[in-house]
Structure 1
Amino acid sequence: MHVAGAPSGDAIATRSAITRAGPGRGVSHGLERADPRRGAPRPRPVPDGGTTAPPAARAAFASFLGALRARNAPEGTVREYQRHVAEFLAFLDGHGVSWLAPDRGTLRAHLARLAERDLSASTVGGSLSAVRSFYRYAARQGWIAANPLLGVRRPRRPARLPRVLSLDEARQLVEAPTRFPAGQQDLLLRDAALLEMLYATGMRISELAGLTIDRVDLERRRLRVVGKGSKERELLFGRPAAGALARYLRRRPALAVGRARSARLFLNAGGGPLTARGARMIVDRWVRYSGVPAGTSPHTLRHSFATHLLEGGADLRSVQHLLGHANLATTQVYTHLSDATLRSAYRAAHPRSGRARAAGRSG
């Protein structure tokens, strides 16, 4: 993608000192053509193997860094761009790709390599920004016809597995309101029922906030929720959740005194419908009080619900229905079997696991 007549490395190095761009323009935008009356910026050492790049690339790189400094870019930003662009130039050189003709696939491969090193998303994004900025500058200088890397997005990082509460931690959280020494009894009973229902059913916090009394069958321990896409599904809950809900329902009228009657199951302290945001705040408060790991959220309870079901022997299709997922692959992301469970399943089922072999000999 080299423009006919593009300058050689020596020409780039001797012609480029960058005039300041107009006020208010970003570091990576508005870089003007060099003023031939000024000398070129002195090349600085290029870190991370960038010195292996051809002389023309090194000269263009030095010119780019000089342009950043001429724009009064913070030195930390200049060093960061220097490191990122040097890494990319070294990557090109190592793969036999001309610095004048990288394509989007080359940049994506470089970013994927960074992601594989488990660098943070901000580091990978910083590399993308720096490299695109360098080639934007090269295009404005006329060294290449156009920036070949426009439109490249940072690669998706593998989804990190969210934390799942242990059985003891889940019990510690949902039972926390019952151990609270003092407080408004109506609200404590509400909070106990709310936590029990979240963990017992795995419902989304928005589904819980929208739940109405008429959709709960306390005797049969079932309820109906409207999930994503306005799809309705039936959920089950056990005796502990049923008991907590019954105790709350007996005291619920006290919360609604002086307010118009609401069909919503859970009410706020003023007697109005509890919002999803209000429900999250309740969970946050009991997370802090109970001592379970910081960052535990309603979604953590949902993940824990699914994982504990699988560890207890439930099949994936059943868990998919209870979570309200249209796609089984989505359910698999929500379920994280413990190492102990996986080891136990392997040893019990695989013919060469050791335990299975020993059992075969004993028979």
Structure 2
Amino acid sequence: MKKLIKTKLREFLKYLEDIRGYSDLTIKSYDESITEALLSIEVLEEKNHILLNLMPYRIKISSLNSKTISKKLSAIRSFTEYLNDNEMRVILRGDDSIKVAKTLPKPISHAHIIEALSFAEPEERVVVTLLYTLGLRISELTSLELKDVSSEWVRVIGKGSKQRDVPLLAQSKKALDEYLSKSVRKKFVFEKNGEKLSENSLRYIVIKVFKRVGLKVSPHQLRHSFASQLLNGNAPIADVSELLGHSSMATTQIYTKLGSALKQQNYNMAHPLSGVKE
């Protein structure tokens, strides 16, 4: 489909020259902006139309000044209007105005997480690993039940009791199995005296693990690191949004303001721990 759109782009540029009478410099600007955007935009073929998801591209150019961003998006809108006027039904997604939070939790680098894990006790290791490889909220981790963990997936109960399934990496499963084999649990993955560990208890574990390597880290930063690593690894923002349990991709865009291009990949290809060797 992108090949067809590129063909249409050449037609559009000729239209700007022959019909609209645009200057060579303006046409070059349109060409560069649209060509650049097509490298990141997700193109989806729906039943009756083509959907262009601008969100990955908007994340990529988010660090530019507002005037430049507006100019680039205007070129895409003009091209879309041309396509719709020439027997192609195209709908833009992610073209609305998005307010980005002034402050964002800083992700922790993969190298720092691995370093901290090397000094962690079995329980500490599992807590950090699950937060990092499942992208859980601390409230979701404390409520995680044994019955919701399978060999390849974890069923997470998120906000509003909304369920989502997140892939469980083989390395995470191994660490979890080793931890669970040490004692008998009744219901929850993290228990003490038959009761689930509190959020504060799990939060303290995370703080303690990273303090050993001179870092101050919160559980939410590990969730942010999960999202950042997946997006940097070219996972589609729609997939990351679903894995995080967000109700809309706009929330994911705010949560994961990044400067990297996004392309379609699956979870295991995107997450760095999937390639770690013992």
TM-score, normalised to structure 1's length? 0.43
> Among residues 263, 275, 282, which one is paired with 2:187 in the alignment?
263
Q: Per-residue CA shift, 1:89-120, capped at 9, x if unaligned? A: xxxxxxxxxxxxxxxxxxxxxxxxxxxxxxxx
| Pairing 1:171–2:109 present | no
Give how far 1:158 is off: 4.6
Flag the 1:337–1:171 CA change in 2: closer, same or farther, 3 A.
farther
Q: Relative contact order, CA 8 A, sep 6+: which one is greater?
A: 2
Match of 1:278 in 2: 201
Q: What is the correspondence of 1:45-194 to structure 2 with a 5 Å cutoff?
A: 158-177=101-120, 188-194=121-127
| Pairing 1:229–2:160 present | yes
Match of 1:297 in 2: 218
Q: Per-residue CA shift, 1:259-282, capped at 9, x if unaligned? A: xx63011124x5532111111011
Give how far 1:335 is off: 1.2
> Among residues 163, 171, 194, which one is paired with 1:240 in the alignment?
171
Flag the 1:158–1:316 CA change in 2: closer, same or farther, 3 A.
closer
AA partner of residue 111 (structure 2): D
Match of 1:55 in 2: none
| Structure 1 stretches of at least 4 aligned residues deviating more than 3 Å after TM superposition | none
| Pairing 1:214–2:147 present | yes
AA partner of residue 168 (structure 1): A
Structure 2: which 5+ runs fail to align?
A: 1-98, 263-278
Q: Percent identity?
A: 35
Q: Per-residue CA shift, 1:114-159, capped at 9, x if unaligned? A: xxxxxxxxxxxxxxxxxxxxxxxxxxxxxxxxxxxxxxxxxx9952
AA partner of residue 212 (structure 1): E
* Secondary structure, aligned partner of 1:241: helix
| Pairing 1:323–2:244 present | yes
Structure 1: which 5+ runs fail to align?
A: 1-155, 178-187, 254-260, 346-363
Flag the 1:224–1:290 CA change in 2: closer, same or farther, 3 A.
same
2:131–2:223 contact (8 Å) kept in structure 1: yes
Please give the alpha-carbon distance, in whole angstroms, between the structure 1 residues aligned to 2:229 and 2:201: 26
Whichever of the two has the greater Rg, that structure is 1
Please give the alpha-carbon distance, in whole angstroms, between the structure 2 residues aligned to 1:191 and 1:162: 22
Please, what is the CA RMSD of the aligned residues?
2.1
More strand by share: 2
Q: Per-residue CA shift, 1:292-330, capped at 9, x if unaligned? A: x32x10000000000000111101000000000002111
| Pairing 1:252–2:186 present | no
Match of 2:210 in 1: 287
* Secondary structure, aligned partner of 2:191: coil
TM-score, normalised to structure 2's length? 0.55
AA partner of residue 326 (structure 1): S
Give how far 1:243 is off: 1.2
